[in-house]
A and B are shown apart, each in its own frame.
Chain A
Amino acid sequence: MFQSPFRGLGFMDIKYYIFLSVALFVMGIIGVLTRRNAIIIFMCIELMLNAVNLLLVAFSKMHHLAAGVANPNAGSEAQLFVFFIMVVAAAEVSVGLAIIVMLFRNTHSVDVNFLNRLKH
Chain B
Amino acid sequence: MNALIFSAISGVLMMFSGFVLKSNAAIRTLAHILLLAVIIATAFELRGVPFFHINTTGMLQFDHFALLFTLIASLSTLVFFLLSSKDMEKVGVSYAEYFALIFFVLSGVVIASSFQSLLLLFLGIEIISIPLYILTGSDKRSLKSNEASLKYFLMGAFSTGLMLMGIALIYGATGTFSTTLIQAPKEGVPVLLSTGMLLLLFSLSFKVSAAPFHFWTPDVYDGAPTVFTSFMATVVKAAGFIAFMRLFSDAFRDIGSEWKLTVAIIVAATLFIGNITAVFQQSVKRMLAYSSIAQAGFMMLAVYSLTAEAKEGLILYGAAYSLATIGIFAVLIKMKDYTFDGFNGFARQQPLIAATLVIFLLSLAGIPLTAGFLSKFFMLKATVAAGNIWLAVFAVIMAAVSVYYYFRLIQAMYFKEGNVPAIEVSPAFKITLISVAALTIVLGIYPNLLLYWLYF
A88, B223: Cβ atoms closer than 8 Å: no
A62, B137: Cβ atoms closer than 8 Å: no
Closest to A119 in B: B219
B133, A95: Cβ atoms closer than 8 Å: yes
Interface residues of A in 41-79 (CB under 8 A from B): 41-42, 45, 48-49, 51-52, 55-56, 59, 62-63, 66, 74-75, 77-78
- The interface-forming segment of B79-87, B140-148, B373-381, B395-403 is B140-148
B144-167 toward A: CB 8 Å interface, digit per residue (1/0)? 101111110110011011001101
A106-120 toward B: CB 8 Å interface, digit per residue (1/0)? 110000101101110
Q: Considering the chains assembled together, what is the distance between the CA atoms of A94 and B65 in angstroms?
A: 34
A100 CB contact (under 8 Å) in B134, B150, B158, B160: B150
Closest to B223 in A: A118
Q: Is B259 on the interface with A (CB-CB < 8 A)?
A: no
CB within 8 Å for A25 and B165 given contacts A84-B123, A92-B130: yes
Q: Considering the chains assembled together, what is the distance between the CA atoms of A72 and B47 in angstroms?
A: 40
Q: Is B177 on the interface with A (CB-CB < 8 A)?
A: yes
Q: Considering the chains assembled together, what is the distance between the CA atoms of A38 and B155 in angstroms?
A: 12
Chain A residues lying within 8 Å of B169, measured Cβ to Cβ, are 55
B134, A95: Cβ atoms closer than 8 Å: yes
B161, A52: Cβ atoms closer than 8 Å: yes
B219 CB contact (under 8 Å) in A45, A52, A112, A118: A118
B158 CB contact (under 8 Å) in A32, A80, A84, A85: A32
Closest to B120 in A: A84
Q: Size band of the B side of the interface?
A: 35 or more
B157, A102: Cβ atoms closer than 8 Å: no
Chain B residues lying within 8 Å of A88, measured Cβ to Cβ, are 122-123, 126, 160
Within the complex, the shortest CB–CB distance from A43 to chain B, in Å, comes to 11
Chain A residues lying within 8 Å of B123, measured Cβ to Cβ, are 84, 88
A55, B147: Cβ atoms closer than 8 Å: no
Q: Considering the chains assembled together, what is the distance between the CA atoms of A25 and B195 in angstroms?
A: 14
Chain B residues lying within 8 Å of A77, measured Cβ to Cβ, are 119, 176-177
A118 CB contact (under 8 Å) in B130, B137, B147: B147
Which of B141, B148, B158, B219 has the most CB atoms of chain A within a 10 A radius of its CB?
Answer: B158
Q: Is A99 on the interface with B (CB-CB < 8 A)?
A: yes
B168, A103: Cβ atoms closer than 8 Å: no
Q: Considering the chains assembled together, what is the distance between the CA atoms of A53 and B165 in angstroms?
A: 9
B171, A106: Cβ atoms closer than 8 Å: no
Within the complex, the shortest CB–CB distance from A16 to chain B, in Å, comes to 14
B168 CB contact (under 8 Å) in A52, A63, A92, A118: A52
CB within 8 Å for A115 and B164 given contacts A59-B172, A91-B130: no
Chain A residues lying within 8 Å of B151, measured Cβ to Cβ, are 115, 118
A45, B175: Cβ atoms closer than 8 Å: no
CB within 8 Å for A81 and B175 given contacts A52-B165, A102-B140: no
Q: Is A96 on the interface with B (CB-CB < 8 A)?
A: yes
Within the complex, the shortest CB–CB distance from A90 to chain B, in Å, comes to 11
A45 CB contact (under 8 Å) in B161, B168, B222: B161
Q: Size band of the A side of the interface?
A: 35 or more
Within the complex, the shortest CB–CB distance from A74 to chain B, in Å, comes to 7
CB within 8 Å for A95 and B219 given contacts A42-B154, A118-B148: no
A85 CB contact (under 8 Å) in B153, B157, B164, B176: B164
Q: Considering the chains assembled together, what is the distance between the CA atoms of A92 and B161 in angstroms?
A: 12
Interface residues of B in 169-228 (CB under 8 A from A): 169, 171-172, 175-177, 219, 222-223
Chain A residues lying within 8 Å of B144, measured Cβ to Cβ, are 117-118
Q: Considering the chains assembled together, what is the distance between the CA atoms of A106 and B402 in angstroms?
A: 38
Which of B144, B153, B169, B222 has the most CB atoms of chain A within a 10 A radius of its CB?
Answer: B153
A21-38 toward B: CB 8 Å interface, digit per residue (1/0)? 000010011001000001
Chain A residues lying within 8 Å of B150, measured Cβ to Cβ, are 38, 99-100, 103, 112, 115
B147, A41: Cβ atoms closer than 8 Å: no
Closest to B286 in A: A120
Those 7 A-B pairs whose CB atoms lie nearest each other, nearest first: A48-B161, A52-B164, A59-B172, A118-B219, A55-B168, A63-B175, A45-B157
Interface residues of B (CB under 8 A from A): 119, 122-123, 126, 130, 133-134, 137, 140-141, 143-144, 146-151, 153-154, 157-158, 160-161, 164-165, 167-169, 171-172, 175-177, 219, 222-223
Given contacts A38-B150, A91-B130, A95-B153, 11 further A-B contacts (CB under 8 A): A48-B165, A52-B165, A63-B175, A78-B177, A85-B164, A88-B122, A96-B157, A102-B149, A106-B141, A114-B147, A117-B147
Sample 9 A-B pairs with CB under 8 A, ordered by A number. A52-B165, A84-B119, A92-B126, A95-B133, A99-B150, A103-B150, A118-B219, A118-B222, A118-B223
